[in-house]
Amino acid sequence: MTRSLVRIAHEILERNEGAQDIVLLGIPSAGAPLAQRLADLLLIAQQEDPTIDKPVNVPTGTLDITMYRDDLGRGPIRVPQPTVIPDGGLEGRVVVLVDDVLYSGRTIRAALDAIGAIGRPRSVQLAVLVDRGHRELPIRADYVGKNLPTSRKETVNVELTELGADEDRVTIAPQAN
């Protein structure tokens, strides 16, 4: 997991020619700690790069998408989490959405709607730890930690120590009926 996040951090810096205008927004629950980890790794990567004179701390926030989902009436009731936009807002910035698993694309569609209600960034990029395929919408991640082909009858679980797990781990399990 760490190796994937380090690689993603370097790819973000390379694609954006530094970290000056980047804002990381984690989608709760697992996307939020992953965004913070990426922010820490982006700072380390900048410090290690001799071409970067002044490393910057990349602002990190969270983006709750609950009220923008198209499946609110299905399944269990979702409790909204706080949305935290870093100082300086999103206007004219490069927003990197961070999530744990990219599946159908519906979560990211909701995140784009939520961002649109907050401001107008210069661009939006997507970083995910796992891309499991099975897209229902034309959404593609810019940065992927690992592609894990799965069946629709399986579930990908990301466990993080920040969320109470004993260790960081990604598992694939049969879907509960």
67 occurs within a structural domain:
yes
165 occurs within a structural domain:
no
The string of pLDDT tens digits covering residues 58-100 is: 999 999 999 998 876 666 666 788 899 999 999 999 999 999 9
CATH number at residue 136: 3.40.50.2020
53 is in which domain, residue-wise? 2-151
15 occurs within a structural domain:
yes
Domain count, the chain: 1
Alpha carbon of 9 to those of 39, 102, 118, 132, 142: distances in Å? 8, 18, 25, 20, 12
What's the whole-model pTM score?
0.94
26 occurs within a structural domain:
yes
| HEC-encoded secondary structure of the chain | CHHHHHHHHHHHHHHHCCCCCEEEEECCCCHHHHHHHHHHHHHHHHHHCCCCCCCCCCCEEECCCHHHCCCCCCCCCCCCCCCECCCCCCCCCEEEEEEEEECCCHHHHHHHHHHHHHCCCCEEEEEEEEECCCCCCCCCCCEEEEECCCCCCEEEEEECHHHCCCCCEEEEEECCC
The string of pLDDT tens digits covering residues 4-61 is: 999 999 999 999 999 999 999 999 999 999 999 999 999 999 999 998 889 999 999 9
